Structure 1
Amino acid sequence: MKATLSISLSTTMYFRSSLVSLLFLSGALASNVLDLTPDNFDDAIGKGKPGLVEFFAPWCGHCKNLAPTYERLADAFAHVKDKVVIAKIDADGAGKPLGQKYGVTGYPTLKWFDASGEPTPYEGGRELDDLAKFITEKAGVKSNIKPPPPPTVEILDTHTFDEVVFNPDHDTIVTFTAPWCGHCKSLKPIYEEVAKDFLNEKNVRVITASTTS
């Protein structure tokens, strides 16, 4: 009897643990990006609601790089999902007929579908802010993306450089950057920390000067 009771308790604990794991997993996998296939495409697109659709392939490296940004984009417009669709199609799998229908030849391909279902290629930037701005302009809805905090690093151009850098009232630390420079992007968070360290030092200025300004 004791052995039977022990097995029952162990089994109960196992199922409870499994249930908790499944609930956690389902929450972790929840996504605001709508998965489209030929079976549900016409129900979501062209029904009076515009949307951005990504045609992707699971093996595509660029698609994998875009995926977290695209998820964040969908999250940013989740509060207005009744007004705009953020969706994706596996154009090398179940959605291959849709990829062929809309002339997809490379991955990822982004297309904007207006409220009537008419597609146009998206040719803008693929950073979160670029995509969100595009959707806001097209659909007239705002994202819930919070603006970044004001920079602690001062940004100068050719019009303000001499006035600030050669001011005898303070010392100046300057980094010269370019928007396309990978090393500059890597340095940015470190340089921001340096600027925070000197934020209350009135006789020290931490500056970034763009070489493309």
Structure 2
Amino acid sequence: MRTRAALLVLVVVGAVVTACGTQSPRVDAAPTRSTATPTAAGADAKARSGTEATPAQASATLGFTAHTLDGDTFDGRSLAGRPTVLWFWAPWCPTCVGQAPTVTKLAEAYDGKVNVVGVAGLDQAAAMEEFVTRTGVQGMRHLSDEKGAVWKRFGVTAQSTFVLLDADGEVAFKGYLEPSDLASRVDALTG
């Protein structure tokens, strides 16, 4: 009996460490476009309509609400019209801590051109707020997704995961990204 309990503990600890450790690039199963050409379909839609998507025309992907760490209500449809980076992080994740400076620089560099939103999960709001302060990522919006509703909506199963949306709100990429890969993918979305 003790052997089974010890084995179960080792499996759980291994799963947590693996989920937060170095991850290889991956694309999870979800309703996504090809990651090879992240803006092709969005560009075609804009060319046909002549305009960018508005919140009223936003993709069904953006049809969600959540709360920010500040306690405000966040409407996913507000992301329509610009490419978006959703950064799914957890307060106790060392990979996420290491990515914080890159995400902050990205948010600053693309201010007004790209929405950059942190989606905090897998812990309580107090730990999420402490992470934001400790890592210096206060300059962007962060959703408090304690129950994992936004994580589930986008099929995210591990931190740190990036979900990149085109200006129409369609998923262009989902998975782990190294800093240089994140920047090049965002460049491709902004054309």
TM (norm. structure 2) is 0.46
Q: Highest Rg: 1 or 2?
A: 1
TM-score (norm 1): 0.42
